[in-house]
Amino acid sequence: MAELQRDTFNVVIVGHVDHGKSTVVGRLLADTGALPQGKLESVRRECERTGKPFEYAFLLDALSDEQDQGITIDTARCFFKSKTRDYIIIDAPGHIEFLKNMISGAARAEAAVLVIDAKEGVRENSRRHGYILSMLGIRQVVVCVNKMDLVNYDQDHFKRVEAEYRAFLSGIGAVSPRQFVPVAAVAGVNLASRGKETPWYDGPTLLELLDALPKAPSKSDQPLRMPLQAVYKFTEHGDDRRIFAGRIEAGKVAVGDKVVFSPSNKISTIKSIEGFNAAPRTSVDAGWSTGFALSEEIYVTRGEVMSHVEKPPQVSTRIRTNLIWLGKKPLVRGRDYKIKLGTAALPVQLQKINKVIDASQLDHRLEKDEVGRNDVADVVLELRQPVAFDLTADCEATGRFVIVDGYDVAGGGIITAAVSDELGDLRAEARVRDFNWVPGGVTSADRAARHGHRSALIMFVGKAGTGKHTHARALEKALFEAGRNVYMLDGQNVLLGVDHDLWVDAAQSELVRRFGEVAHLLLNAGLIVVSTTNAIGLADATAVQALAPDAPMLLIDVDPTGSSTMACDLRITGTEPEHEVIAKIADLLRHRGITSRAS
């Protein structure tokens, strides 16, 4: 069994096209005896048959297109063993057209070997890949200065390449490589064994260097983060467990721990750790795809992040990021994209471009109003609704994301800073309130079971005089007659009582805050609350949601002019027959899981 404890280490090989990445890997496989019997001979025979000179790269470039063109198109994986550990080597393509393939390979790696052709020197993708490795969070980088045979194993030449590349990386703030190794992959010099050709080099061979790279430290000591992947209830065969499933990305959690889900601020306690064909356990830590039963049944949805109450993630609608764009169409303002962050998937737009870095030089900023294919950029993104996240420096898994354009993953990046939006203060208030909330003896799940629906906030928004109030009243009546526990919260009534002590010209923000707190209490009582932004001086309804983050909100935009571009769940002109509007809202309630399908 001792052998099972060997480390497995993922290494990606990157660098400019034709600098010899596949040859480095092919030779390493051959020299460590990792090739299947007969593979080397069969490739040699194939070369003889077709009149091509034998190349180690052919061992890897197994796809027919690649052998025909002599370049690596996609990332290939192969396996070999050293004396101390098992390696998974990811051979990434160096051609610019295949940058997304290089990224796919590198995103899986724990360390990188970057190959630079000694004769050609540092080229565009040597630089670009160096920057991307840094952005992808790969801290352990080794550089092979390859094809040393073509420069007569000249030490000065080697030193010049090293100096140039180190200067470039430090100039852009990227991680400086651990070591530069002079190699000649074709001849096997300084890969698995030391070459006589470089007596001036007394550093380790590539293999010695790889063996010495440490595994990434465990993330179990970081604050707990588990993006919620799903809530399962498989009722067949008499299973009545409700399981909150996800992978612990950082930290650890034990039975009895109080946990909070962000951004909803819902709090519960770990009752048990669930599994299949596994010994029962009382705690679980980073890396495990697990599931929990909770003591207090709460309603939370995929995309929320579970943490301990003491160290929750940040919550905002704006994030500053470094991203790389791979889309066929450029990243532009005013277009709807989808961000996938942890397990959340939410609408997002480009808010601001701080700078676009010229990927071929990476040393000067470009004035651009869009981010083009293969560009690296520093941008601010804006979401329609708040998301839980961390800075990538604090927690990698909740600090990075991809952007989907249409059906395709078109870019990815890391979060470098939180950008405050106008609702930060209200969110902070809600957090302090919810984390210290004294629960009654009846849970929201109990109430939902009794009422046949969950609580929800339905807000009619739009300009003054569009009939929002009339719609709200009609909706309240219709929902009530359908058996719902519904309450129309009229803003005037809040003004008359709760706001009685405020001056007539009191700040709108305080009106919003008080209205939101009242709405929150009614929602906490399990009601469907219907209201209009008349109540808060037509302020942005998302401010109210910031105070009631645990209840779903439906925005109904009443827009007679047809010119509104505001994000909403339903847009009406206000002239439709009332029963049609009500039927549409009832559909939305069902679709969002607020009312059950049956009733």
Partner 1 sequence: MDHLEQLEQQSVYIFREAFRHFERLCMLWSIGKDSTVLLWLARKAFFGHIPFPLIHIDTSYKLPEMIAYRDRLAMEYKLQMIVGQNKAALAAKDTFPEKLKANPKMTAEEQATARTECCGKLKSGALAATLHGTGERMRMNLKTGKYEVDPDHAPYTGVIVGARADEEGSRSKERYFSPRDKNDDWDVGDQPPEFWNQFKTDFAPGTHVRIHPLLDWTELNIWEYIKRENIPTVSLYYDQGTGTRYRSLGCGPCQSPIKSTSKNVDDIIVELKSGSLRNIAERSGRLQDGKHGLEELRRKGYM
Residue 452 Cβ vs partner 1, minimum distance, rounded to whole Å: 26
Range in contact with partner 1 (rule: CB under 8 A) among 98-106, 119-127, 143-151, 352-360: 98-106
Cα separation of 266 and 256, whole Å?
A: 16
Smaller CB distance to partner 1: residue 233 or 364?
Answer: 233
**144 sits in which H/E element:** strand 140-146
Range in contact with partner 1 (rule: CB under 8 A) among 78-86, 171-179, 261-269, 381-389: 78-86
Range in contact with partner 1 (rule: CB under 8 A) among 251-259, 274-282, 455-463, 500-508: 274-282
Binding mask 192-231 for partner 1 (x = CB under 8 A): -------------------------------------xx-
Sole binder of partner 1 in the list 232, 508, 578, 587 (CB under 8 A): 232
CA 98, 104, 107, 109 torsion-angle sign: negative
Burial class, 359, CB count within 10 angstroms (exposed 0-12 / middle 13-18 / buried 19+)? buried
Residue 113 Cβ vs partner 1, minimum distance, rounded to whole Å: 18
**Angle at 323 (CA atoms; ends 317, 324), nearest 5 degrees:** 145
436 contributes a contact to partner 1 by CB under 8 A: no
Smaller CB distance to partner 1: residue 326 or 489?
Answer: 326
Tokens of 287: 């890396």
Q: Interface residues for partner 1 in 300-359 (CB under 8 A)?
A: 302, 326, 338, 340
Cα separation of 363 and 84, whole Å?
A: 40
Q: Which 3-state string (H, E, C) describes 474-499?
A: HHHHHHHHCCCCEEECCHHHHHHCCC
583 contributes a contact to partner 1 by CB under 8 A: no
Residue 230 Cβ vs partner 1, minimum distance, rounded to whole Å: 6
Cα separation of 207 and 80, whole Å?
A: 11
Strand partners, 262: 305
For residue 223, say if its preceding peptide bond is cis, omega within 30 degrees of 0: no
Cα separation of 62 and 186, whole Å?
A: 18
401 contributes a contact to partner 1 by CB under 8 A: yes
Sole binder of partner 1 in the list 12, 13, 28, 76 (CB under 8 A): 76
243 contributes a contact to partner 1 by CB under 8 A: yes
Q: Please, are residues 192 and 31 in contact by the beta-carbon 8 Å criterion?
A: yes
Q: Please, are residues 215 and 86 in contact by the beta-carbon 8 Å criterion?
A: no
Q: By rule CB under 8 A, what count of residues binds partner 1?
A: 67
CA 139, 140, 146, 151 torsion-angle sign: positive
408 contributes a contact to partner 1 by CB under 8 A: yes
**Angle at 210 (CA atoms; ends 56, 138), nearest 5 degrees:** 100
74 contributes a contact to partner 1 by CB under 8 A: yes
Sole binder of partner 1 in the list 16, 19, 27, 100 (CB under 8 A): 100
Sole binder of partner 1 in the list 41, 86, 369, 580 (CB under 8 A): 86
94 contributes a contact to partner 1 by CB under 8 A: no
CA dihedral 150, 152, 153, 156 (to 10 degrees): -100
377 contributes a contact to partner 1 by CB under 8 A: no
Sole binder of partner 1 in the list 216, 346, 404, 538 (CB under 8 A): 404
Sole binder of partner 1 in the list 17, 32, 54, 73 (CB under 8 A): 73
Picking from 298, 227, 231, 305, the residue whose alpha carbon sits closest to that of residue 263 is 305
Smaller CB distance to partner 1: residue 235 or 575?
Answer: 235
Range in contact with partner 1 (rule: CB under 8 A) among 171-179, 287-295, 488-496, 587-595: 287-295
82 contributes a contact to partner 1 by CB under 8 A: no
Sole binder of partner 1 in the list 8, 193, 283, 599 (CB under 8 A): 8
The beta strand positions in 361-441, using DSSP E, are 365-366, 376-389, 400-405, 408-418
Strand partners, 78: 89
DSSP state of 562: S
407 contributes a contact to partner 1 by CB under 8 A: yes
Cα separation of 314 and 316, whole Å?
A: 7
Sole binder of partner 1 in the list 15, 313, 412, 491 (CB under 8 A): 412
Picking from 221, 226, 285, the residue whose alpha carbon sits closest to that of residue 259 is 226
Sole binder of partner 1 in the list 17, 216, 332, 409 (CB under 8 A): 409
Tokens of 364: 């000067």
240 contributes a contact to partner 1 by CB under 8 A: no
402 contributes a contact to partner 1 by CB under 8 A: yes
Cα dist. 396→99, 277, 399 in Å?
A: 22, 30, 5
Sole binder of partner 1 in the list 48, 234, 465, 591 (CB under 8 A): 234
Residue that the structure tokens 């470009």 belong to: 366
Range in contact with partner 1 (rule: CB under 8 A) among 112-120, 232-240, 488-496, 573-581: 232-240
Burial class, 49, CB count within 10 angstroms (exposed 0-12 / middle 13-18 / buried 19+)? exposed
549 contributes a contact to partner 1 by CB under 8 A: no
CA 60, 62, 67, 73 torsion-angle sign: negative
Q: Interface residues for partner 1 in 49-68 (CB under 8 A)?
A: 60, 62-65
Sole binder of partner 1 in the list 127, 157, 400, 454 (CB under 8 A): 400
Sole binder of partner 1 in the list 277, 436, 563, 575 (CB under 8 A): 277
- Give the interface with partner 1 as residue ranges (CB under 8 A): 3-8, 33, 35-39, 46, 60, 62-65, 73-79, 86, 88, 100-101, 103-104, 107, 136, 229-230, 232, 234, 236-237, 239, 241, 243, 245, 247, 274-278, 287-289, 291, 302, 326, 338, 340, 397, 400-402, 404, 406-409, 412
